């Protein structure tokens, strides 16, 4: 019964390399969104500190929050950079290994095999 059902066209099938690329792109999008949110928070906090007409204690708390947020953002950005650099380096190593293999590979001479005919014409 299943033999008569048309299969998924090859163009619509998800290949493992496409799944990997989709995962990497999803990670990049999430990273960019998180960075945008953190920068927006930093900008808002910087404006609040600048416009603050309150006590030195309140300003100190705001500056502490600012420093805490920037440290966290910096640490996350470094981890993201390491992640993407690792992916890039893995691809670079893969390409280098492929080139080395191609350089070492000896060309295979073209060979034609001739076999005597087993049929005779009468």
SS (H, E, C) the chain: CHHHCCCCCHHHCCCHHHHHHHHHHHHHHHHHHHHHHHHHHHHHHHHHHHHCCCCHHHHHHHHHHHHHHHHHHHHHHHHHHHHHHHHHHHHHHHHHHHHHHHHHCCCCCCCCCCCCCCCCCC
Q: How far apart are CA 57 and CA 44, in angstroms?
A: 19
**Residue 110 forms part of a structural domain:** no
The larger pLDDT score, comparing residue 92 to residue 74, is at 74
* Mean predicted lDDT score pLDDT of the chain: 78
Calculate mean pLDDT across residues 17-33. Answer: 86
**pLDDT tens profile 34-51:** 999 999 988 988 888 888
Give percent of the chain above pLDDT 70.
Answer: 74
**Residue 84 forms part of a structural domain:** yes
**Residue 112 forms part of a structural domain:** no
In the prediction, which pLDDT does 105 show?
Answer: 65
Calculate mean pLDDT across residues 28-33. Answer: 91
Overall domain count for the chain: 1
In the prediction, which pLDDT does 83 show?
Answer: 87
In the prediction, which pLDDT does 119 show?
Answer: 54
pTM of the model: 0.55
**Domain region containing 20:** 15-104
């Amino acid at each position: 019964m299943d033999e008569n059902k048309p299969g998924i066209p090859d163009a619509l099938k998800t290949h493992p390399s496409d799944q990997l690329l989709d995962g990497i792109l999803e990670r990049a999008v999430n990273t960019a969104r998180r960075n945008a949110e953190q920068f927006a928070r930093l900008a808002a906090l910087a404006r609040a500190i600048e416009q603050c007409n309150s006590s030195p204690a309140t300003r100190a708390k705001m500056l502490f929050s600012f420093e805490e947020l920037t440290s966290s953002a910096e640490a996350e950005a470094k981890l993201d950079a390491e992640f993407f650099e690792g992916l890039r380096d893995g691809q670079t190593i893969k390409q280098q290994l492929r080139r080395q293999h191609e350089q070492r590979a000896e060309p295979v001479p073209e060979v034609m095999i001739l076999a005597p005919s087993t049929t005779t014409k009468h």
